[in-house]
Amino acid sequence: MNRRTFSHNLLSVSAVALSIPDTLWSYENGEDRLGKIPKTDTHVHLFDLNNLSYGWLKNSPKINRNFDLQDYEEATKSSNIGKIVFMESGADAGLGLKEATLVSRLALSESNIKGIVAKADLTQEPGTEKVLEQLCELPLVKGIRAGFPKDAATSSDFLAGFKALAHRKLSFDLLISPPLMAEAVRVAKKFPDTIFMLDHLGNPNVGDAGTTQWRNGIEKLAELPNVNCKISGIITRFGKDWSVEKIKPYILHVIEKFGMDRLVFAGDWPVVLLAGSYESWSRAFEKITRQFSDEELHKIYHKNADRIYRL
């Protein structure tokens, strides 16, 4: 499979950098060191509309098109990305195995793809066992992202599927919002040996007058040593009006609660284009974290991701 498999007859899409303040790009006192530290991107979507269908994209016309690895590499050429983890991209029900298989084939010629978080429905016993078994035959599959029901901690169907996941030593990416954080805490406590990754800072409700529920949820999740957090998705919560000053408190809060050993960087490509460019997000991340030591930066830039996702 060649690198353009994900965009047959594609009109190439390239990200156009937003106009952002010069202060975002300037690094004083040797701060250009940040751009020299490689990043492992733990959240890369690829859209292949020729082989897969994505119903959710109908509501996001700006990104409702093919996005392949070449598009990603063009958008990230100034961001010093090393390894990447493909994140299941919301393909329609029943297509998770097909999607993971296509990406596995792509990875045969694209060595920077080091891991896959695949899609699976954990509530379809006994079918869940079979799907997980097939996914585990793909060496790059490191974890699963699945729907997380409101009653996850008590749902017999979900818990049966989750036990099958845990038995196979797969990690679990949590795509939730603040109202489900308490339920996520209960599930994570039931499976202390399973690695959990909270996507997109837990999707805080940035437009609310207060963020108490999100802050409390982050604190409770961070108390559990098997839960990690992905620094990503925050600029899309604000939309085109995002700024470094607006997103900084959210990032610093998860750093305070999770510490530097359980946080990873992610670009959320191409969803990031709904608010800005990949490069503007990468530079914002660098600016916000530049206060930390080289050792700490290496952890959140790539070392934690490589360890947590077993890359």
Encode pLDDT of 27-70 as tens digits: 444 456 666 899 999 999 999 999 999 999 999 999 999 999 99
Cα 98 to chain centroid distance, Å, stands at: 20
Of the listed ranges 32-36, 136-140, 145-149, 260-264, the one predicted with least confidence: 32-36
Q: How confident is the model at residue 209 (pLDDT cuts 50, 70, 90)?
A: low
Report DSSP state, residue 115: E
Class of domain 34-308: alpha beta
CA distances from 44 to 102, 148, 199, 293, 310 (A): 14, 20, 12, 27, 16
Please state the length of the chain.
311
Ordered by start, the domain boundaries in the chain are: 34-308
Q: Answer yes or no: are the C-beta atoms of 161 and 125 closer than 8 Å.
A: yes
How much is the mean pLDDT over the chain? 90
Interval 214-220 mean pLDDT: 97
What is the per-residue pLDDT across 81-100, written as a single tens digit (0 to 9) for each? 999 999 999 999 999 999 99
Instruction: Give the per-residue pLDDT at 210.
Output: 65
Instruction: Give the per-residue pLDDT at 301.
Output: 98
Cα 195 to chain centroid distance, Å, stands at: 14
Verdict on whether the full-model pTM lies above 0.85 = yes
Residue that is written with structure tokens 């070392």 in the block: 303
Instruction: Give the per-residue pLDDT at 64.
Output: 98
Q: How confident is the model at residue 126 (pLDDT cuts 50, 70, 90)?
A: confident
d(CA 8, CA 261): 40
H/E element, 212: helix 212-222
Instruction: Give the per-residue pLDDT at 124.
Output: 85
Scanning 87-199, the segments in alpha helix (DSSP H) are 96-107, 127-136, 156-167, 181-190
Interval 70-87 mean pLDDT: 97
Q: How confident is the model at residue 207 (pLDDT cuts 50, 70, 90)?
A: confident
Query: Which one is predicted more confidently, 14 or 26?
Result: 26
- Written as six digits, the tokens of 21 are 């303040």
Q: For 113, what's the count of Cα atoms within 13 Å in the CB-facing half-sphere?
A: 26
